[in-house]
């Protein structure tokens, strides 16, 4: 590599660093202006609180929907709420790794690849388990 290319690359790096610093400085300036506005701290606390409440309410709806599905098998337990049943493979990772190493497939278990093989094959140490997952419409 010629010295000329290195010097050019260094100049490009300097320009990129300067542009990144200018962008960061502008972001910091705008952030400082925003933080100086009255009510910003209250709005941040309110936003965090409402996000936490939303997450809690979402978790409750999902759990109640899965519970209702478990009772009556209805995949549409309420308007805007559904149940999707996923198949989950259940296996001991150590046994699966031993199997993969025996087949000269891996030194480390690649769970995604293993599960593809396990779904297509009947491996005695792998079982399938249905796992219901609640889905909630964005507009309730």
> Is residue 70 a part of any domain in this protein?
yes
8 occurs within a structural domain:
no
Mean pLDDT, residues 105-130 taken together: 84
Please report whether residue 11 resides in a domain: no
Q: Is the pTM of this model over 0.85?
A: no
13 in a structural domain: no
Task: Answer yes or no: is 24 within a domain.
Answer: no
1, pLDDT greater than 70: no
In a domain, 18, yes or no: no
Render pLDDT for 11-37 as a digit per residue (tens, 0 to 9). Answer: 999 999 999 999 999 999 999 999 999
Residues 50-88 pLDDT 10s: 999 999 999 999 999 999 999 999 999 999 999 999 988
Domain count, the chain: 1
> Long-range pairs for 11-14 at CB < 8 Å and ≥24 separation?
none
Structural domain harbouring 95 = 37-136
- Give the other-Cβ count within 10 Å of 12's Cβ: 10
Residue 136 · residue 81 · CB < 8 Å: yes
Q: Is residue 119 one of the residues assigned to a domain?
A: yes
């Amino acid at each position: 590599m010629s010295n000329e290319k290195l010097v050019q690359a260094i100049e490009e790096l300097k320009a990129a660093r300067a542009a990144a610093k200018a962008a960061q400085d502008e972001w910091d300036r705008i952030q400082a202006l925003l933080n100086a506005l009255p009510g910003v701290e209250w709005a941040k606390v309110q936003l965090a609180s409402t996000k936490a409440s939303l997450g809690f309410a979402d978790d409750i709806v999902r759990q109640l929907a899965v519970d209702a599905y478990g009772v009556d098998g209805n995949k549409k337990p309420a308007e805007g709420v559904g149940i999707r049943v996923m198949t989950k493979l259940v296996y001991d990772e150590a046994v699966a790794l031993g199997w993969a190493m025996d087949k000269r497939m891996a030194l480390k278990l690649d769970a995604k690849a293993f599960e593809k093989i396990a779904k297509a094959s009947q491996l005695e140490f792998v079982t399938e388990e249905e796992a219901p997952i609640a889905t909630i419409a964005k507009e309730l």
